[in-house]
Structure 1
């Protein structure tokens, strides 16, 4: 994901949280030397263009299913917003107990980016995932360090008349962030189709929110669920995100865009690699029409 950030044990242990300094003109919020201006009347932003090294306290934790939690972190104060743009993620830093080296992993917020006072994440715990296991062990009152924002695709309202989001498992989080930003913006009229593939019915994260959006925005948003191991009597389509399924979707116009996020095998199958093209190219989509989160 762009430039690499290197940490030494000494640097990692010396990272500070937040220092606030008053100046003669407005307020400046200083995060270990990186300054973000908060002009009078404008919401303060937690994350600017550079590193933040900001330590945030966990406000609440909620089990969503057997391996996923919703974690809500408190921003520096109730009037602070994230300062993130659509498709951005945040790079987290921790030193899990028993780990020789620190761990850095990106996570995508799922609450509104302009919501003041808090950031929310859906975190799936993987069997050998050091950071996800550490995050699942956190209790309200514990803190987590956020290193910097990771800007993604530069979204411009109405640049594409229609887009398709293809998500697998926990890859729903960046797709949901973009979808939410589009539909909540009255000036953005982009049409959106979401294809969401998971292992079991219980893995359909954010299903209630997605179904509500489909109801609220008929003709603008459509969601298609597919489950590889559905329970008996499941109302959802059975199978993977396959060439056959995507072929059933109405083809995007020439200015359309496809966004993909999911497990590496799924992404390779859809996007391809140096050896062979992926399913999307086989279906006629140009390389410049495909973006991998």
Structure 2
């Protein structure tokens, strides 16, 4: 190690001596060399601690990037059924532009004979797959909008985020390119006759698991579940709302089943952009708030003085009603609505707006 002032080449024993606080060279007490030796010792100790800190940080980063990981090191099989235990080659067959230039609708295809029997895999909503960026060997989960069809096709709404490595990589792919996927992975299982009302709150591409859920259980008007479904979705601007293919389908479902499914679209601001499927006058400007949630539950007519005196706890009738909140979107939005994630992305405690409204962990699920 090189040290300024006078340059010295230090041996390991000298480094150990300095790190323990001992002077590098012994000097007679009271001599004119003792003070300079002490200054040099402090300088060396500081440099050693900095070097050790950099070494530790580099070691941790290296371990994260290069230490063997069960998912990253999973094998790739070309002729095995889709499974979370291995990667399967898939082909990009379509990449469609959206009103938001940072997003695209991307369709992947796997050979139909690789689709497992429906009863043996978690294909019930909500499920996702992992897509691997071959360049940096990183995988991220994505939700097929309409599941997987009989031809092995899966469509995804993908957005380019500033720090989203896999998203940027996916948007660079063209029809005919091959990528590797792993799954299906069950995200949240839908169980019939469990809830009276399901409120889905999403931001950005966080709407994709809810679109998959609704596409599965609300598409047949003659066979609707007993639960009522409400979707509160927020995007930054009108142009960044979900593409027409998604919004048109959701608006059609809302018009055909007004008592079973309703949708509210919010934007942070009206920036002058437009969306082909919805007029800006039909959008709510502002982020999803407590008032938005209460309005969706039919609780917006409460007396102002009850809220002021904190007497706005839910009534016995409201408490007996089985309501489930599903929240998906950017971490900041999830924290504001339902409280932050717990350790290692566990559910954690219910906080945010839903926490102040008195809802519990059994009634709130973060996706």
Q: TM-score, normalised by structure 2?
A: 0.64
Distance, in Å, in 1 between the alignment partners of 2:96 and 2:113 is 21
Aligned to 1:177: 212
Shift of 1:8: 4.1
Distance, in Å, in 2 between the alignment partners of 1:282 and 1:183 is 31
Distance, in Å, in 1 between the alignment partners of 2:219 and 2:132 is 31
Aligned to 1:188: 225
Change (3 A) 1:13 1:112: closer
Distance, in Å, in 2 between the alignment partners of 1:126 and 1:156 is 33
Runs of 4 or more consecutive aligned structure 1 residues displaced over 6 Å after TM superposition: none
Distance, in Å, in 1 between the alignment partners of 2:198 and 2:74 is 44
Whether contact under 8 Å (1:85, 1:113) holds in the other structure is no
Counting strand residues as a fraction of each chain, which structure ranks higher? 1
Distance, in Å, in 1 between the alignment partners of 2:168 and 2:183 is 21
Give the aligned length: 258
Greater C-alpha Rg: 2
Aligned to 2:362: 288
Change (3 A) 1:78 1:68: farther
CA RMSD between the two structures? 2.7
Shift of 1:249: 2.0
Distance, in Å, in 2 between the alignment partners of 1:275 and 1:74 is 39
Aligned to 2:10: none
Distance, in Å, in 1 between the alignment partners of 2:181 and 2:285 is 38
Whether contact under 8 Å (2:338, 2:350) holds in the other structure is no
Whether contact under 8 Å (1:89, 1:106) holds in the other structure is yes
Cα deviation 1:39-86 (Å, max 9, x = unaligned): xxxxxxx535x4231110111110112111111111213794785220
Aligned to 2:295: 248
3-state DSSP of counterpart to 1:288:
coil
Shift of 1:239: 0.1
Distance, in Å, in 2 between the alignment partners of 1:160 and 1:276 is 19
Shift of 1:90: 0.7
Counting helix residues as a fraction of each chain, which structure ranks higher? 2
User: What residue ranges of structure 2 are gaps of 5+ in the alignment?
Assistant: 1-65, 273-278, 300-317, 341-347
Distance, in Å, in 1 between the alignment partners of 2:337 and 2:101 is 28
